[in-house]
């Protein structure tokens, strides 16, 4: 039993379980906007379970599929699978359980979430192969994360009956693509040698930073549209400006000749973005009821 818990802890470390913080607040925001307030306790529980299952499955599958590339990349060679800290068989077992958990949560919400669950799975698992075929894999990753707010809206309403979840998903897609381009700059040279495709490998780091800025400008424009469509008032507007400031700050941390502050740009800043939008836009929903 102790060995099992050690393996499970190692697996959670492998998939960076704490980074679920990036996507979960967007799912909760989609649910709050759909309910125009608090969703039911049952909906909150199953949305959380679905998010945990989906992200765990996606990250585990990615680590399994990429383990040979990771072993040859100095930055990732010490990851759990290439270093032998975790067996591939245990990772596959964890993946299967995660998929089953996701599907059960989708079933427990409503018929449409269950019907669309294969589309979500194909999207989040397909990303693992994207860098083998296209330099714009960053947008595919963005699409994979962007599913969550619209999926949560469907979980609450059983339909897509508004442009709001679509705008929120588009925001997540462009925001994710932007920060993933930044993160991929670290592997620019290795990707070229390994035959993997990415925007940095194709366009170089300097141009890639410009492309990342463009993606984030697009994300901010969509955020403004979301604010105007929802009409949620001053608190949501605070969120718009706060996120805009964080995006600008993120790009000041990374220079073409200096990627040493990438962790601050990628992990810390991005965790704040999703939480800020959840608190401000979600809070504005409740303020509107007072």
Q: Is the pLDDT assigned to residue 249 strictly greater than 90?
A: no
Q: Please give the full DSSP string across 241-265, using - where no structure is assigned.
A: HHHHHHHHHHHHS-BTTB-TTHHII
Distance of alpha carbon 42 from alpha carbon 4, whole angstroms: 30
Which sequence spans correspond to the domains of the chain?
2-287
Q: Which pLDDT value is given to residue 266?
A: 63
Give which of 282, 146, 163, 149 is closest to 226, Cα–Cα: 163
pLDDT tens, position by position, 150-183: 999 999 999 999 999 999 999 999 999 998 898 8
Of the candidate ranges 31-35, 90-94, 193-197, the one whose mean pLDDT is the lowest: 193-197
Q: Which pLDDT value is given to residue 176?
A: 92
Distance of alpha carbon 138 from alpha carbon 90, whole angstroms: 28
Phi, psi of 258 (to 5 degrees): -150, 100
Distance of alpha carbon 267 from alpha carbon 37, whole angstroms: 29
CA of 138: how far to CAs of 37, 109, 280, in Å? 33, 30, 27
* pLDDT, mean of residues 99-121: 96
Q: Is the pLDDT assigned to residue 189 strictly greater than 90?
A: no
Q: Is the pLDDT assigned to residue 84 strictly greater than 90?
A: no
List alpha helices for the chain, DSSP H: 2-14, 24-35, 41-65, 67-72, 88-109, 111-130, 137-157, 164-184, 188-194, 199-230, 234-252, 262-263, 269-287
Please give the structure tokens belonging to residue 103: 């599907």
Q: Which pLDDT value is given to residue 276?
A: 95
pTM: 0.91
Of the candidate ranges 42-46, 109-113, 249-253, the one whose mean pLDDT is the lowest: 249-253
Considering the chain, what percentage of its residues have pLDDT values greater than 90?
65
Contacts 24+ apart (CB under 8 A), 247-256: 247/175, 247/178, 247/216, 247/219, 247/220, 247/273, 250/179, 250/182, 250/216, 251/182, 251/209, 251/212, 251/213, 251/216, 254/182, 254/185, 254/209, 255/209, 256/205, 256/206, 256/209
Could you tell me which CATH number the domain at 2-287 has? Answer: 1.10.357.140
Please give the structure tokens belonging to residue 50: 């679905």
Q: Is the pLDDT assigned to residue 7 strictly greater than 90?
A: no
Q: Is the pLDDT assigned to residue 2 strictly greater than 60?
A: no
Q: Which pLDDT value is given to residue 21?
A: 66
Distance of alpha carbon 83 from alpha carbon 80, whole angstroms: 5
Confidence of residue 265 (pLDDT cuts 50, 70, 90): low
Q: Which residues pair with 255 in a beta bridge?
A: 258
Q: Is the pLDDT assigned to residue 257 strictly greater than 80?
A: no
Question: What residues contact residue 85 under an 8 Å CB cut-off, 6+ apart?
Answer: 10
Please give the structure tokens belonging to residue 82: 């290439």
SS3 133: coil
């Amino acid at each position: 039993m102790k060995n099992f818990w050690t393996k499970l802890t190692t697996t959670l470390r492998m998939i960076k379980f704490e980074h679920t913080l990036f996507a979960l607040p967007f799912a909760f925001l989609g649910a709050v906007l759909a309910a125009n307030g608090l969703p039911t306790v049952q909906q909150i529980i199953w949305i959380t379970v679905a998010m945990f299952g989906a992200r765990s499955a996606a990250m585990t599958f990615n680590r399994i599929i990429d383990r040979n590339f990771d072993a040859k990349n100095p930055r990732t060679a010490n990851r759990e699978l290439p270093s032998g800290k975790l067996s591939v068989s245990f990772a596959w077992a964890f993946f299967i359980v995660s998929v089953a958990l996701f599907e059960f949560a989708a079933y427990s919400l409503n018929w449409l979430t269950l019907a669309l669950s294969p589309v979500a799975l194909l999207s989040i698992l397909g990303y693992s192969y994207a860098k083998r075929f296209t330099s714009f894999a960053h947008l595919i990753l963005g699409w994979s994360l962007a599913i969550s707010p619209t999926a949560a809206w469907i979980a609450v309403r059983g339909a897509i009956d508004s442009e709001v979840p679509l705008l929120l998903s588009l925001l997540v897609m462009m925001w994710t693509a932007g920060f993933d381009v930044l993160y991929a700059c670290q592997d620019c040279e290795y990707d070229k040698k390994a035959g993997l495709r990415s925007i940095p490998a194709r366009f170089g780091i300097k141009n890639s930073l410009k492309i990342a800025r463009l993606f984030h400008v697009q994300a901010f424009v969509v955020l403004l549209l979301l604010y105007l469509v929802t009409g949620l008032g001053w608190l949501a507007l605070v969120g718009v400006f706060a996120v805009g400031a964080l995006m600008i700050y993120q790009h000041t941390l990374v220079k073409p000749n200096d990627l040493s502050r990438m962790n601050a740009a990628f992990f810390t800043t991005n965790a704040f973005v999703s939480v800020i939008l959840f608190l401000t836009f979600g809070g504005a929903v409740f303020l509107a009821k007072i």
